[in-house]
Amino acid sequence: MGLFINIIIIAAIIGLAGYQIYRAVKRSKQGECAACDYDCEAKKLLNKSKKRAL
């Protein structure tokens, strides 16, 4: 494996990790956790209920 491929793979892994952190922080602002791509039963029910400002 050449140096270039090594660098590409390292960069890809770090880039993907950076993207995941960016995505997690962005989603956090909307009040969602990192595992929130799918809707579990509890969340389906919760999402139906309205948000009420305090």
Partner 1 sequence: MTTVALLGNPNTGKTTLFNELTDKYAYVGNWTGVTVEKKVGQIRHSNTEVIDLPGVYSLSPITKDESVVTNYLLRDSPDLILNVTNASQLKRNLLLSIEVLELGVPVIITLNMIDDLKRSGHYYDLKTLSTELGCPVRTSNARNKEGLPQLKADLVQNQADIKPNSPLQLNYPIMVSQAIRQATKALTTDYQVDAKFARWLAIQYINDNKVVRKYAVAHHLKPLLSQQAYYDAQKFSDQIFETRLSFIEATLATATEQLHSTKHVAITSKIDKVVTNPILGLPIFAGIFFLMFKLSFDWVGTPLSHQLDKLLSGPISTWANQFLTQVGALPMLRSLIVNGLIAGVGGVLTFIPQIFTLFACISILEDSGYMARAALVTDRIMEMIGLNGKAFIPLIIGFGCNVTGIMAARTIEQPKERLITTLISPFMSCSARLPIYSLFVAALFPRNQAVIVLSLYFLGIVVALLMAKFYHVIFRAKEHSVFIVELPQYHIPKLSIVWHGTWDKGKGFIKKAGTIIFAGTVLIWLLSNFNAHGYVTQIDHSFAASLGQILLPIFKPIGITTWQPISALLTGVLAKEVISSSMMVLFHTANQGALIGMIGGSFTALSAYALLVFVLLYIPCFATIGTIKSETGSAKWAAYSVVSSLFISYGLAFLIFQIGSLLT
> From the CB of 46, what's the least distance to partner 1, in Å?
4
φ, ψ of residue 18 in degrees (nearest 5): -60, -40
Cα separation, 15 vs 46, in Å, equals 34
Contacts for 27 with CB less than 8 Å, ≥ 6 apart: 33, 34, 36
> From the CB of 18, what's the least distance to partner 1, in Å?
7
> From the CB of 15, what's the least distance to partner 1, in Å?
10
- Chain residues binding partner 1 by CB under 8 A are 1-3, 6, 9-10, 13-14, 16-18, 20-21, 23-25, 27-38, 40-43, 46, 49-54
